[in-house]
Amino acid sequence: MGSYGKVPEAVIRRMPKYYRYLSDKLLQGEERISSSRMSEELGMNASQIRRDLNCFGGFGQQGYGYSIGKLRDEIAAILGLDRAYGAVIIGAGNIGQALVHYSGFACEKFRIIGVFDVRPEAIGKTVAGCAIRHVQTLAEFARQNRVDLGIICTPKEAAQETASMLCRLGVRGIWNFAPTDVEVSRGVRLENVHLSDSLYVLLYHMKQQGDLTEGTK
């Protein structure tokens, strides 16, 4: 699996959904699936699913549907889940610790190899078998371990300095949970996670539904 040229961001953002869906199908012991059944179960348009997969060369056999295992493995390779990643978490509070405890990340080769904080009372404690170290020791840690990715779980005031430090240490990606925009060096990919954005969308739709219901009373 090599480079695919310019694939639209919206297509990339749908791939994890296909990956999760196909992984569940495999666990249920299924072997083949048509794009029309995928579309029914995923609530998406079948032609969109085919178009999405065609961005990467297309994997279907006309009339036979897709081999679930093969398609899942191809999508894993597209998403880079076939590689090993070492990640560090900066900020061992509620979110940082929840992430360390969560073992269900899609890629088993994605490993949290270090957790860092500044609170004296947190340093030396272990979270899910991982010792919390002082952030001042991160540079040394990064010299001795391959750190591909940094996960920012600090308060927002510390997010930019943390991002800059991670960039200096040579990470290739930053997963930012702090509710603020951070700037990263060229060549470093940034992905922000804001749970509240998703909540606001939910509340918006609930409000719309409520207003519509009220309107029909």
Is residue 143 involved in binding ligand NAI (CB under 6 A)? no
Closer residue to ligand NAI, CB minimum distance, 100 or 158:
158
- CB-CB contact of 72 with 53 (8 Å): no
Least distance from ligand NAI to the Cβ atom of residue 209, Å: 24
Cβ neighbour number for residue 2 with a 10 Å cutoff: 4
Residue among 21 and 116 whose Cβ is closer to ligand NAI: 116
Least distance CB 97 / ligand NAI (angstroms): 7
Taking CB under 6 A as the rule, does residue 153 contact ligand NAI?
Answer: yes
Strand pairing of 173-176 and 189-192? parallel
What 3-state class would DSSP assign to 40?
helix
Nearest Cα residue to 147 out of 110, 119, 122: 110
Residue with Cβ nearer ligand NAI (70 or 101): 101
- Binding residues for ligand NAI, total number by CB under 6 A: 26
Nearer to ligand NAI, 53 or 90 (CB): 90
Backbone angles phi, psi at 112, to 5 degrees: -85, 110
Please pick, from the candidates 95, 151, 174, 182, the single residue that binds ligand NAI as defined by CB under 6 A: 95
In this structure, the number of other CB atoms found within 10 A of the CB of residue 192 comes to 15
Closer CB to ligand NAI, residue 170 or residue 179? Answer: 179
Instruction: Give the whole-angstrom CA distance, residue 73 versus residue 52.
Output: 16
CB of 161 to ligand NAI, least distance (A): 6
Q: Which residues make beta-bridge pairs with 131?
A: 126
- Which positions lie near ligand NAI, rule CB under 6 A? 90-96, 116-119, 122, 135, 153-156, 158, 162, 177-179, 193-196
